[in-house]
Amino acid sequence: MATANVKIQAPGGVGKPKVSKSAGSVVPVIATATRTKKAGFRTIYIFYIGLAVMVVCIVIGIIAGTTGALTLRAGEDQANASFHTNALVDWAVIGGLAVLFPYGIVAYRQATMIDNIESRLPDFLRDVAEAGRFGMTLPEAIIVASKGRYGRLTEEIKRMASQLEWGVPVAHALTLFQERIDTPLTRRVVSIIIKANEAGGNVADVLTMVAHDTRETQLNEEQRKITMLTYLTVIYISFFVFLVTIIIMAVTFLPQMVTAGAGLQSSAASAAGNGGVGISIAFIPAVFLAFLAAVIVHAVGDGMMAGVIHSGRLSEGMLHGGVMLAVGWFIMRFIVPPVVLPGG
């Protein structure tokens, strides 16, 4: 198919004076925002996949609890128990980890990448403002500033400069830049720049003020994270102190109760008819399961709170919750010996 040739003049004579390209060559530049926007839904897809895996694991846990098959380790249930609660708990925890870990890791990496991108945004704005003070228009200043190095932001700035060289209006190029980055700070900055450029006047002064305000916002956020790091440490220490307390009770207290109860039952049986007193020990495995449930609830809850306190993001809380849940569940199920009743 024949394609019409389009001649595009770079704004202000910057860059190549005239370049003849086919109209189809501009499409990948304009479609970049659409591709990047679709990639932004990746974390949501991972979360939904994790939920589906969790549902499957719960179904497997119900089957394992009913039939006694597919159990990961013998638990506190009696051999003749009608339902093996430990099997259901184990598979439910695995399903929960399938939700917390993948989503938390991907969302944390995405948030880290956004922070790295935004950290260089004030430097770019300051360079554009300096170029504007030499009498350049906003598109020319952006093209000149794009030759600098701004970390992860460099690629997107060069892409925006290429769009400007091909004749894309500066407002549209900035909008595409904002859609590719798509962070709250970038949206606010781009909106201010577009409005200032439309209003006219000295855009360089506006860019300087925006760069200063952006840097101050980032410094305040970093200071808040440093302050909240103390509370994050306290939450981790509190959780592990609680876990150690539960482990001590499960390893020493519950077995002693089983031994004492079995001894009293034996004494009561030998003194049958003489008013012997015994202690029922059938509820002790349920106490251990209550300990395990308490560890699981504390792990998820403390992890969520730790992430929200530290960064204000629930996604980071899911990552902390996954770490605490994995450690607590593994210790309680595979290191602490299960409480087994006599004859169980």
Q: Note the pLDDT tens digit of each residue in 225-270.
A: 888 889 999 999 999 999 999 999 888 888 787 777 666 655 555 4
Cα separation, 256 vs 233, whole angstroms: 34
Stronger pLDDT, 147 or 81, i.e. the higher one: 147
Work out the mean pLDDT of the chain and round it to a whole number: 78
Q: Would the pLDDT of 175 be above 50?
A: yes
Q: How far apart are the first and last CA of the chain?
A: 80
pLDDT, residue 57, reads 93
pLDDT, residue 38, reads 47
pLDDT digits (tens, 9 = 90+) for 82-129: 778 888 899 999 999 999 999 988 888 888 887 887 888 888 888 888
Q: Summarize the confidence of residues 311-318 as an average pLDDT.
A: 84
Q: Would the pLDDT of 20 be above 70?
A: no
Q: Would the pLDDT of 275 be above 80?
A: no
Q: Summarize the confidence of residues 130-140 as an average pLDDT.
A: 84
Identify the CA nearest to 32 among candidates 192, 191, 128, 172.
172
Name the pTM for this structure. 0.72
Give the percent of the chain with pLDDT over 70.
78
Q: Summarize the confidence of residues 200-216 as an average pLDDT.
A: 83
Q: Would the pLDDT of 29 be above 80?
A: no
